[in-house]
Amino acid sequence: MTPQPTTTAPLATTTAGTTAPDTTKPDPSPTTAAGPVTCVACASGYTFVYSSYLEVPQLGTEPVRGTGCGADGSLGTTIPDGIWNGFITIGSSSMKMDVQCVYYGESAQPFVTQCEQTQTTADCLKRGDDFWMVNNNSRTRSVPLDPGFRRRYANPNCVDPGPGKGAKPQTAGQSSLDTWVVIENGRATFALTSCIRN
C-alpha cells in the first residue's frame, strides 16, 4: 500500500487594509464656541457695589482698600481685574491710571504718626485713619476701555448716584480727583470718582 502524501493546510491569509493606524492625538481643548464676554459693571442698571465711596474693603493681600496698589512691588505693567483706586485720564479707547494706596485702620497708623510729627493730631485725623491715601509716584498704566464703560461722580453723600440720575460729564480737571475703577476681563468697565473734592 502506498502511503498517502501528507499535506499541510495552507496558512490563512487576510486581505485587510494595509494603512497605518491613526495615531493622531485628540485635541484636548473643547470645540464648543466661547460665549460672549460679559462684565458685571457693564449692566445698564449697575450701581457701585459698595454702599459708599469710602466703604470699599481690603480685597487683596496688601493692607489697603480695594484690590491693591503695588506698594509691595507686585503690580506690573498691566493692572489685573479688580477694584483699584487712583487718578485717571480717559481717552477714546483706553484710560491712563496712576494707582494709589488707600491705607486704613492699623495700616494707616504709621502715616498718622508721621503726620502728627509736623501737624496737630486734629489736623491729621481730619484725613481719618480709615481712608489714608498715599501716592508715592506718578507712574501711569494704560487700561483698555470696555465698550460699555461709564464714569460717574459720587454725590455729596459719597454714594454712586446711579444710572440715569444726571451724572456730571467728564471735565478738564478729571485727573485731579481720585477714582475707584472696576476692571473686568482686562478692561475698565466702570469708574466712580471721589466725593471728597467735587
Q: 120 or 157, which is more confident?
A: 157
Mean pLDDT, rounded, of the chain: 79
The per-residue pLDDT for 175 is 62
The per-residue pLDDT for 21 is 45
The per-residue pLDDT for 26 is 43
Closest CA to 133 of 78, 49, 69, 60: 69
Report pLDDT digits (tens) over 13-52. Answer: 334 444 444 444 444 444 444 445 578 988 888 999 999 9
Model confidence at 75: pLDDT above 80: yes
The per-residue pLDDT for 116 is 84
What percent helix, strand, coil does the chain show, rounded to 5? Answer: 15, 25, 60
> If you search the block for the grid coordinates 473686568, which residue do you land on?
184
CA distance 41 to 47: 8
pTM, to two decimals:
0.75
Closest CA to 101 of 69, 128, 141, 60: 69
Model confidence at 113: pLDDT above 70: yes
Among residues of the chain, what percentage have pLDDT more than 90? Answer: 43
